[in-house]
A and B are shown apart, each in its own frame.
Chain A
Amino acid sequence: MRKTISRRGFLKGSTSAIVGAAGLAAGAGAGSQVSHGAAPTALITRHADIPAAKGTRAVVVGGGWGGLTMAKYLKKEAPDWDVVLIESHATFMSCPVSNLWLAGLIDLEFISHSYLTAAKNNNYIYFNATVIDVDRSERVVYTSGGQLTYDYLILAPGIDYDWPAVGMLDPEEIHLLHTHYPAAFKPGSEHLTLKRKIDEFEKGLFVLTVPSGNYRCLPGPYERACMIASVFKRKKLKAKVLLLDFNPKVKIKAEGFQAAFQELYKDYLEYVPSVTVHRVDVLNKTVIGEFDDYQFDDASIYPRVRGALLIETLGLVAESSPQKEARINLFRNHLHDDLRVYVIGDSRPMGYSKSGSTANDEAKYVAKVIVGLDKGKKLEWKGPYTSCYSMVNADPPEAIYFGSQYLPPLIAHTPMDMERTVKAWIERGSAFAWRDQNMNRSPEMGQAMYAWAYGYYKDLFG
Chain B
Amino acid sequence: MASRRKTAIRLPRKYAKDEVIEVKTRIIHPNHNGRMAYKDQGYIAEYYVWKIEIFYGDESIITVSASAALSQNPYFTFMLRATHSAPLRVVWVDTQGDQYTESVDVVV
Q: Report which A residues bind B (CB closer than 8 A).
A: 248-249, 270, 272-274, 289-295
Contacts and interface: CB of A to CB of B under 8 A. Distances in A.
B17 interface: no
A273 B2 contact: no
A292 B10 contact: yes
Contacts of A292: 2, 8, 10
27 contacts: A248-B31, A248-B71, A248-B72, A248-B73, A249-B30, A272-B2, A272-B4, A273-B28, A273-B73, A274-B26, A274-B28, A274-B72, A274-B75, A289-B2, A290-B75, A291-B8, A291-B10, A291-B24, A291-B75, A292-B2, A292-B8, A292-B10, A293-B1, A293-B2, A294-B1, A294-B2, A295-B1
Nearest to B72: A248
Interface residues of B, number: 14
A293 B13 CA distance: 12
Contacts of B8: 291-292
Given A248-B71, A270-B4, A295-B1, 12 more contacts: A249-B72, A272-B4, A273-B28, A274-B28, A274-B73, A274-B75, A290-B75, A291-B10, A292-B2, A293-B1, A293-B2, A294-B2
Nearest to A274: B73
Interface string B73-100: 1010000000000000000000000000
Contacts of A273: 28, 73
Contacts of A289: 2
A430 to B, nearest CB: 10
Interface of B: 1-2, 4, 8, 10, 24, 26, 28, 30-31, 71-73, 75
Contacts of B71: 248
A270 B1 CA distance: 15
Give the interface SS of chain B, mostly helix, strand, loop or mixed. loop
Contacts of B28: 273-274
B87 to A, nearest CB: 20
Contacts of A248: 31, 71-73
B92 to A, nearest CB: 14
Contacts of B31: 248
Nearest to B28: A273
Nearest to B39: A429
A295 B2 CA distance: 8
Contacts of B26: 274, 291
A302 to B, nearest CB: 19
Contacts of A274: 26, 28, 72-73, 75
Contacts of A272: 2, 4
Contacts of A293: 1-2
List the 7 closest pairs (A to B, CB-CB), nearest first: A292-B2, A248-B72, A274-B73, A248-B73, A294-B2, A291-B26, A291-B24
A292 B26 CA distance: 10
Nearest to A292: B2
- Which of B2, B26, B72, B75 is most buried by chain A, counting CB atoms within 10 A of its CB? B2
A170 to B, nearest CB: 24
B6 to A, nearest CB: 11
B96 to A, nearest CB: 18
Contacts of B1: 293-295
Residue with the highest number of chain B CB atoms closer than 10 Å, among A272, A273, A292, A293: A292
A249 B31 CA distance: 11
Nearest to A242: B4
Contacts of A270: 4
A274 B30 CA distance: 12
Kindly name the residue among A273, A274, A290, A293 whose own CB sees the greatest number of chain B CB atoms within 10 A.
A274
A169 to B, nearest CB: 23
Nearest to A271: B4
Nearest to A270: B4
B80 to A, nearest CB: 16
Contacts of B72: 248-249, 274
Contacts of B73: 248, 273-274
A262 to B, nearest CB: 15
B13 to A, nearest CB: 11
B59 to A, nearest CB: 25
A322 to B, nearest CB: 19
A256 B26 CA distance: 26
A203 to B, nearest CB: 16
